[in-house]
Amino acid sequence: MAARRSEAADIFGERRSSGGGSTSAQLDAIALLLQDLIDGVQGISDQNSQNSDSSRAFGEDMLPQSFSGPLSTAALSPTHAVANQESVKCKANFGKAMPVTVQFDLDVVGVVPQAIVSWKVGGNTIVRTMDVTPGSSISGFADQVNVSVTDITAGGYGEAPATYNVTITISPGTRPATSLPPIYTALTANNLNSGSSQVVSVPLGTKGLMVYGVSAGGAASLRVDQYSAGIIGTDAFIINRVEVDSTQIGFIPLSAGAAQINITNEGGAIAVVTCLFAVDG
């Protein structure tokens, strides 16, 4: 386009210097300028069209996805237990990697659903497992997200409803700052005799753990040992050790290389112990 403008200017310059110039040359110069103008307008139109297509595709991809569906309580409906993979699922494709939040809701309490969240970036997948409670959420960085929720309610929940609804919402952005991280429950109200131990495997994607307990004989006195992979007492080695009583409830950072947790009741009576893990998106 710049070459055409230069050529047209030369033609008009020659006309001025010679005191005239042929009509044909002038028409050629005008034609060059018109073509230059047409090409410029077409270029702007093409660029706007590309931007419009890109914005439209990106806008469609960015729309939040939400799905609500029923689950059968596993303990009350054995045919719909975890092994049968009955689940509520939702997925979203955002077209480009960005911060994404998955949020859950339930229409009841007293049930134990569990979610598997798969973040996908550039063909690679990161999987996180977490408890589902009303309002629970988790954030990650992904261009595509797949979520599946399954009921794992145990037999002790005798008053749990036979069916309930779970809602999954996937949207751009990060979860609000809260005092509690996404949680994975590894051990719930487990009876631990005096002097006995319970081994809990460290789930993938977790960054901290909380162990607490109560004892009929007083405050539960627990020792929490973080071990490497292997068999405790033979080839696994201890990485970290923390003494916990029932008044110390808080998350303990997981040490690098920890693959299993050994919880020991150091008190004189049975302790009822719970172990939670903090999940990192």
What's the pLDDT tens digit per position in 33-63?
Answer: 556 656 654 554 444 444 333 222 333 445 6
The DSSP-derived string for 15-51 is HHHHT---HHHHHHHHHHHHHHHHHHHHHHHHHHHHH
Residue ranges per structural domain of the chain: 2-53, 64-172, 183-279
Give the mean pLDDT of 88-109: 90
Question: Which string of b and e fits 216-228 if b means at least 16 CB within 10 Å?
Answer: eeeebbbebbbbe
Q: Which of 4-13, 91-100, 140-149, 200-209 has the lowest mean pLDDT?
A: 4-13
Say how far apart CA 153 and CA 132 lie, in whole Å: 11
Instruction: Supply the pLDDT for residue 154.
Output: 74
Higher pLDDT, 77 or 65: 65
Whether 183-279 and 64-172 are alike in CATH topology: the answer is: yes
Say how far apart CA 263 and CA 244 lie, in whole Å: 10
Say how far apart CA 147 and CA 114 lie, in whole Å: 10
The number of angstroms, rounded, from the C-alpha of 104 to the middle of its chain's C-alpha atoms is 12
Architecture of the domain defined by 64-172:
Sandwich (2.60)
Say how far apart CA 3 and CA 25 lie, in whole Å: 16
**What counts of helices (H) and strands (E) characterise the chain?**
2, 15
The number of angstroms, rounded, from the C-alpha of 172 to the middle of its chain's C-alpha atoms is 11
How many residues make up the chain in this entry? 281
Give the mean pLDDT of 138-150: 93
Say how far apart CA 130 and CA 243 lie, in whole Å: 26
For 180, phi then psi, to 5°, come to -115, 135
Mean pLDDT (the chain) is: 77
Higher pLDDT, 4 or 273: 273
| pTM of the model as a whole | 0.70
Q: Which of 10-19, 24-33, 36-45, 63-72 has the lowest mean pLDDT?
A: 10-19
Give the mean pLDDT of 137-142: 94
- Decide which of 1.10.357.10, 1.10.3720.10, 2.60.120.10, 2.40.110.10 is the CATH code for 183-279: 2.60.120.10
